[in-house]
Structure 1
Amino acid sequence: MADLPPLSPLQGRFWRMLGIRWQRRPYDSGSHLTGGRWNAPGTPALYLSADYNTAIREMHQDLIRPGTLVAFDLAAERVADLTTWDPAVTACLWREIHMIRRETPPSWTLAQALIAAGAQGALVPSVQHRGGRNLVLWRWRKAEDGAGEGAALTLLDPEALLGGG
């Protein structure tokens, strides 16, 4: 594998469409059960988007379903920027590679190397929304919990309706 990109601080607002089952658990992610483009089954990952249009498209993909759009403010110390990385990795057909060919997708290999290097997450191009960017976090925490290992997330929920506590 090529050299890994540098890990840099990242701050800003990121978006997520919560499916109905996740509305009361906005910091949780089910991708560790089945895997995702940037995490093998068993590897925790929280997928966010840099803008709300991308978040909506990422959640819906080819199936329109109900959801709630939420915003998080992020403060991370070690994030890799993969937005200009090789599309053979960032846009690989990970489901086909994993489920049909029974091989390891190159995005998982890169993610594991980044996790081992201490990355909290990676900024990646969206496959669902041309020009969109996503943030996949492998290590995260609620900012209100104080200092810790993961990227700090603050859920913007002024009416406390989402159960983020």
Structure 2
Amino acid sequence: MPLNDGRYAGPLYRALNPVYASVPLSGQGAAIHGGRFNAKGVPALYTALDPTTALREANQVGSLQPTVLVSYGADIEPIFDTRDVNALDQYDLSPQHLADPGWRAKMLDGRPVPTQGFAHRLIADGFAGLLTCSFAQGATESSLNIVLWRWTGAGCVLNVIDDENRLGRM
């Protein structure tokens, strides 16, 4: 179980577009484009609990594109666990809503995206992020992501693992 009473402490991984490699804590790519769990304009870090899931998440459309894999040390709370069906039910959401493959088309068409509304409510309720299963092609039940909306301040520590300053040289 990766969460302990709503707290995640351990490694996280992101596969970044090289454009954002020099700012691995910005969340601006997600803010510009929007995502399953963040509306446009809302910064977010889409992380994974393992490197393979991070690579799958970053390259869901077409062929594998150039990618920079980044590792973080995290100690963040509170994190909402979407695997808890009873907790999801309190937000009038189901696992099927989370897995909706049409979320991107809705967003591009300007229609409401239930998972973005859900994220908005979680942010308002003080959650730093959420733990969810990966919906990327090839993901398994053990492929997990943590989407963060807050990664600094009270209850949030997220450090880039870059002892040799490799990202600073990009």
CA distance in 2 between counterparts of 1:84 and 1:109 reads 18
Q: Which runs of 5+ in 1 are unaligned?
A: 1-6, 142-147
Structure 2 partner of 1:99: 108
Q: Report the TM-score when normalising by structure 2.
A: 0.82
Is 1:135 matched up with 2:143? no
Is 1:156 matched up with 2:166? no
CA distance in 2 between counterparts of 1:97 and 1:130 reads 25
Q: Which runs of 5+ in 2 are unaligned?
A: 86-93
Structure 2 partner of 1:57: 56
Structure 2 partner of 1:48: 47
Return the offset for 1:94: 1.0
CA distance in 2 between counterparts of 1:107 and 1:53 reads 24
CA distance in 1 between counterparts of 2:42 and 2:21 reads 21
CA RMSD of aligned residues (A): 1.7
Contact 1:83 1:133 in 2 (8 A): no
Structure number with higher strand proportion: 1
3-state DSSP of counterpart to 1:61: coil
**Which of 22, 25, 38 is 1:24 aligned to?**
22
Return the offset for 1:83: 2.9
**Which of 118, 131, 139 is 1:110 aligned to?**
118
3-state DSSP of counterpart to 1:97: helix
**Runs of 4+ with deviation above 4 angstroms:** none
CA distance in 1 between counterparts of 2:149 and 2:118 reads 13
Cα deviation per residue 1:59-100 (whole Å; 9 max; x = unaligned)? 111331111111101111210001354222211221122223
CA distance in 2 between counterparts of 1:140 and 1:69 reads 18
Identical positions, percent = 34
CA distance in 1 between counterparts of 2:135 and 2:156 reads 24
CA distance in 2 between counterparts of 1:152 and 1:79 reads 13
